[in-house]
Amino acid sequence: MNNLHIEAPAIIYHLAPGGRLQGRVQVPGDKSISHRAVMFAALAEGVSEITGFLSGEDCLCTMRAFRAMGVHIEQLAPTHLRVHGVGLHGLKAPDAPLDLGNSGTSMRLMSGLLAGQTFACEMIGDASLSRRPMRRIVEPLRQMGARIDTTERGTAPLKINPSKGLSGISYASPVASAQVKSGLLLAGLYAQGRTEVREPGISRDHTERMLRAFGVDVETGDGVAAVRGGQSLRASNVAVPADISSATFFMVGAAIVPGSDLLLEQVGINPTRDGIIEILRRMGVRIELLNQRDLGGEPVADLRVVAPEQLKAIDIGHDLVTLAIDEMPAVFVAAACAGGQTVITGAEELRVKESDRIAAMCDGLRALGVNAVAEPDGARITGGTLHGGTVDSRGDHRIAMSFAMAALRADGPITVLDCANVDTSFPGFAALAKRAGLAISVHSQA
């Protein structure tokens, strides 16, 4: 079946130069946690409630997919869901391919849990998702006994057929990837024996934390996570913290304008995701963690961001990149405003996101007059004056929001093209940014 999508109007951001972010801001719920909350609640026995749910298109794709497989999900409010779990073996065959839009998280995690079902199904996505690499999850699932077909390029659509039974494996992942790890752990719940994933570095541990909250015994150690098959999930209420990846745009927007003082409320500060805090601190930004507390197994805090008179250029290597992979586009903007040359290495994963983010950011910065040299695994960015100009976001939500914030330091208007996908992760971004002090207007073209 062909993957058919209705063309949405093109969205363009027009930004006047200058301004300053001020006051208190709460960004929407964490996307990674919202995805997992819906998935795990659907597979649990009993009724779970999710508050703080990110009502962005990516997470709505996950919700619609589980509804299509027979899970009753009530959306009591945009950010409040009640999920009537069907248990590990209660999903039903969907009537049509599951359209996951732009969401790589949905597709990779669901590959694992669908590999253990007794029915066949197909997962499709938009043009961007259909270019993203899926062999990294498909190949280890095949080692477990899964029957999954991809295109010749190893991309979606993914066709999953019932297997004769999954077997646990010990898998050494060549990359540190929370999506691969999570997909294999979910498949491991359906497998005979123990499934172990070993990684060469740190990846997000939202899956391990939340599985435990749903009653699953998860073994964790230095670079290792494992589950035993046959465990069931028990219903659990989930309070989703504000997304640190979404907060990053405001953190960087505040950091690049001297005199800025911004408070971001109830932000998740999971230690596998907090690299942006360390990066900005090394660049000279004062970031205070206030009112630290625990929210549903996840650490949260209110972040006060105070800009320095001048950001410092730094070297950002693989260890920090791993803890801030989704935040790196905004880091490129901070680097463009810093004194000296910032060198980013170990970031080759940015090449296979919703766009080639290294190329997109360097091309965009050069369009605004900044010296940015792309490298295979990163970039060299020499801070300077940001001029006005036009930037193509390439349909990538994080590229679009990063360049929107760049206008705060520009000496002329900036136009950002192809911004419709911002709603996949941050519905209401433009309105919230405008209230905080960004001079942004949104225009649509049919």
The residues carrying an active-site annotation are 326
Partner residues linked to 50 by β-bridges: 81, 238
Q: What kind and span of H or E run contains 269?
A: none
If we measure between CA atoms, which residue out of 386, 351, 382 comes closest to residue 257? Answer: 386
Q: Give 264's strand partners.
A: 25, 303
Strand ranges for 243-376 from DSSP E? 261-268, 286-295, 298-306, 315-316, 341-344, 371-375
Q: Is 303 helix (H, G, I), strand (E, B) or coil?
A: strand
d(CA 122, CA 344): 38
Residue 174 in contact with residue 198, Cβ under 8 Å?
no
The amino acid sitting at 272 is T
| Cβ 323 vs Cβ 361: under 8 Å | no
Per-residue tokens: 268: 């998740």
Beta bridge partner(s), residue 234: 45
- Is-contact 162 187, C-beta < 8 A? no
Residue 341's nearest CA partner among 364, 366, 370, 319 is 370
